[in-house]
Amino acid sequence: MSKIRITRRAILGAAAAGSAVSLFAGPWKHNRVWAQGASKPIRIGITADASGQYANSGASDKRGMMMAISEANERGGVLGRKIEFVHIDTETTAATGSRVAERMISREQCGFLVGAVHSGVANAISQVAQKYGVIYINTNSSSPTEAGQNCHRVKFVFDGNGTNFAKAAVKSAIERFGPDWMLLTNDYVWGHDTAAATKSLLKEYGGKVIEEVLIPQGTRDFTSALLKVQQRKPGVISAAIGGDDQKAMRQQVAQLGMGDKPAWINSQQDWDDVYGLPVDNLFGVFGTTWYYRLDLPGVADFVKRYQTMYPETAMRSPGNVFYNGYMSIRELLGAIERAGTTNNIAVIKALEGHKMPARDRMQHFDATIDAETHQVQQTIYLATANRAAKEKDDLFEILSHAKPDDVRDTDSAKLCKLEPYDKTPSFDA
């Protein structure tokens, strides 16, 4: 027979402990009301790289977000609440991204996460965010998998992806420079996915890959790859090389005078990766989502606001990475306003399918947040080096702009299976 005595004191103690635990642990459906009331600020976790391969781009990404937050606070915040941000360096490393996301959610009590350049980092952050139901905006990483097989209900992808850029370029490049292509591919998720998209398009339009050279991340010497290019003699080189690797490659190609022949197609050219380089380093045709000298309403004012807010920044004109960071926060805060609440599910629904007028986006065509994949379908620009620059920063000559529907990534969309709403934890941020 048990000798345990159940006293009134023990029952009261157990009840108190149970209540305390239930406040934090359950029921999971709606259990984390972090910032009740209008008085507490909305906290955004900025997951931008401050070191590693994408440190430079990460700094621009963060500057874009900070400008959008600053402007929102000047207008009185959102739903009467000020916006606060916490930034922790994700070090261009997936494991760090995961750790940072976990810390921002569980310790820093961030209700939203925004930022990324490296696709591996973005994927790691989004897995943690989905676990907690925290909305995460991938600002600048452009692997097709981000809104494809790695899509999540909480994740929204604001950059164009490798397929979008390849679709804008591949068909016309085959017609102009021939079917024999060589791929230089950064040996990580973005490089592989972008190369896969290019291969699929080559197959569709009658081109062929005569060789693919995998370039390890952190490569500083591209001589081996460039010797192989000379030996294989392709008509076109499609390069999916990012960050510092790409800067080194551009300098070495320019030094060898190989920028004009064969033809170079670079998936996307981030502004931060070429800013400050001589114009002969900007060979080939490349994609972008925005340029600071687009002749569109609002662009000049946007540039002026950037220059006023960052008078000391060496980069005197904003680029696509800054632009995506800015637009991500602006659209997130807009969605909170439209939803009238910081409840994550309500904000997700306000973002899904949201149409953004071309004028607001400072692009040529209206953009939409695809409700099925959460990727922003937007204008894709093709550009090359500007040999008749109007000013020092006028590096790009915009060659064309493609409509969002013409460059839509339909293959990745088939692989995206968003988690149902009721499988996504719900809370008010």
Question: Considering the rule CB under 8 A, would residue 244 count as an interface residue with other proteins?
Answer: yes
Counting every residue written for the chain, the total comes to 429
Q: For residue 117, what are its two tokens?
A: 């350049």
- By the 8 A CB rule, do 181 and 233 touch? no
| Nearest by Cα to 201 from 267, 142, 264 | 267
Residue 70 lies near other proteins (rule: CB under 8 A)? no
Q: Does 247 participate in binding other proteins (rule CB under 8 A)?
A: yes
> Segment contacting other proteins (CB under 8 A): 48-56, 374-382, 395-403, 414-422?
48-56
Q: Does 230 bind other proteins (CB under 8 A)?
A: yes
Rounded Cα distance, 210 and 325, in Å: 37
- Tally of CB atoms within 10 A around 106: 12
Phi/psi for 151 (5° steps) reads -70, 155
Element (H, E) at 316: none
Question: In the set 314, 391, 420, 422, which binds other proteins (CB under 8 A)?
Answer: 314
Indicate whether 223 belongs to the interface with other proteins (CB under 8 A): yes
Give me 14's structure tokens: 């157990």
Is residue 19 close enough to count as binding other proteins by CB under 8 A?
Answer: no
Q: What would the x/- binding string for other proteins be over residues 269 to 308, using CB under 8 A?
A: ---xxxxxxx------------------------------
- Report the residue from 70, 149, 172, 252 that binds other proteins according to the rule CB under 8 A: 252
Contact between 227 and other proteins by CB under 8 A: the answer reads yes
- 101 makes contact with other proteins (CB under 8 A): no
Residue 276 CB, nearest distance to other proteins (Å)? 5
Q: Assess 216 for contact with other proteins (CB under 8 A).
A: yes
- Reported as half-sphere exposure (CB side, CA atoms, 13 A), residue 354 has a value of 25
Q: Judged by CB under 8 A, which stretch of 69-77, 101-109, 242-250, 417-425 contacts other proteins?
A: 242-250
Helix pair angle (344-351, 320-339), 10° resolution: 120
DSSP-derived pairing of the beta strands 112-114 and 42-46: parallel
Stretch that binds other proteins, among 134-142, 147-155, 248-256, 287-295 (CB under 8 A): 248-256
Q: How far is the C-alpha of 216 from the C-alpha of 249, rounded, in Å?
A: 12
Does 55 help bind other proteins (rule: CB under 8 A)?
Answer: yes
The answer to whether residues 22 and 30 touch, using CB atoms and an 8 Å cutoff, is no
Counting contacts by CB under 8 A, is residue 59 touching other proteins? yes
Q: Are 269 and 284 in contact (CB under 8 A)?
A: no
Rounded to 10°, the helix 94-106/119-132 angle is: 30
Nearer to other proteins, 216 or 311 (CB): 216
Minimum CB separation of residue 239 from other proteins in Å reads 13
Binding window for other proteins (CB under 8 A); candidates: 172-180, 229-237, 378-386, 390-398: 229-237
CA-nearest of 282, 252, 259, 290 to 387 is: 282
**Residues interacting with other proteins, by CB under 8 A?**
51, 55-56, 59, 187, 213-216, 218-221, 223-228, 230-232, 244, 247-248, 251-252, 255-258, 272-278, 314-315
